[in-house]
Amino acid sequence: MLRSLTLIRGIHISSTNWSSTKTQLLKLRKKTGYPFDSCKKALQLNDNSLEKSEAWLKEEAQRLGWAKANKLANRATAQGVIAFAIDSQKEVATMVEVNCETDFVARNKCFHSVVEVVTSSCLDFAKQQKALENSFSKVNLKSGDLMELSGAEGKSLADHVAVTIGNLGENVTLRRATCLNTRDTGLNIMGLTHPANPTGSQFFSGKYGSLIIYRKQLDSEKINQRSMESSHDEILRQMCQHVIGMNPKSVGVLSIQEPIKSQEVVAAKTLNENDDSSLDNIDEKQSESAFEEDGMLEQAFLLDPSITVGQVATDYGIDILDFVRYECGET
């Protein structure tokens, strides 16, 4: 009888311990997202302590991530996303390019999580920069610069990328970033990605991205009645869309004129079969036309080719000072 009671008591204690362990296991799994086997091992090695087990899992993930990252370092990363973030005052912004091997991973939640960490770190870096007098701060960061930035939990972005590589089993690289700061300059920033894909309250990502630095004109006499038809934000987003679609190489010069026609059309009108002198000037004219086509303000507006971007800017009282354009995987 005594032996039976002892056996029953032992079974009850064992059942209680397992129930407690299972509860801890479920909590650890939910909190960290690591596999059950890894969570179970962590609890076993750390006396069922959640805090110690979580720390152990992170260290193990970091170690395995770096091992995987070193192994996959030479793999090409032609896919990925362009992401940007702008502060609530529209005075500080960043745009980043994070690459991976396949388009499948580029849509993965784990990949997007590290993209958010990178974008957030770059926005913090941009906030630390001081705008130049009567101008703005623009800092371009390369891969090595990005890897050294501090991210969440005080870890470097290199560490965050290593953990992501370990989780995904695919190479991930930080290619570049641009950080803008226009505080106390009277300038603001607008951004857009294509396709538009919000990944958080501040973050947007896509395969293309653009940022525009602009100033609103305060003199109402300079603003055309057309500015009443649409909000400034809407027009600025359309200008960002223009930058993505038309790929201008410079801001250009503001001039109110007909939209620049294509280089081929100008050449055709210039060439006269009976006038040999036109042949001497055609290269120069084509070069000038090509230069003008590269200037954003001289280009025909993407959403209304009957007018130039410069005309749109004038009508809505907007001065364009600079822009940034990213295309994922561009050389």
Among 173, 141, 309, 32, CA closest to 43: 32
Eight-state DSSP code of residue 132: P
Rounded to whole angstroms, the Cα distance separating 226 from 228 reads 5
| Joined tokens for residue 185 | 């300059």
pLDDT at 262: 38
Summary mean pLDDT of the chain? 79
pLDDT at 302: 94
pLDDT at 55: 75
If you compute the radius of gyration of the chain from its CA atoms, what whole number of angstroms results?
A: 28
pLDDT at 104: 94
CA triplet 144, 98, 240: central angle to 5 degrees? 115
Asked if pLDDT for residue 280 goes beyond 60, the answer is: no
- Neighbour-count burial of 234, counting CB atoms closer than 10 A to its CB (0-12 exposed, 13-18 middle, 19+ buried): exposed
Element (H or E) spanning 193, and its range?
strand 188-194
Tell me: the pLDDT tens digits for 74-98?
999 999 999 999 999 999 999 999 9
Map tokens 């290619």 to a residue.
175
Residue 256 — very low, low, confident or very high, per pLDDT cuts 50/70/90? low
Tell me: the pLDDT tens digits for 167-191?
899 999 999 999 999 999 999 999 9
| Joined tokens for residue 168 | 């995904």
Asked if pLDDT for residue 99 goes beyond 50, the answer is: yes
Residue 293 — very low, low, confident or very high, per pLDDT cuts 50/70/90? confident
Domains and CATH numbers, the chain: 25-73 (1.10.8.10), 79-255+295-327 (3.30.479.20)
pLDDT at 48: 81
Residue 53 — very low, low, confident or very high, per pLDDT cuts 50/70/90? confident
Asked if pLDDT for residue 10 goes beyond 50, the answer is: no
Asked if pLDDT for residue 8 goes beyond 60, the answer is: no
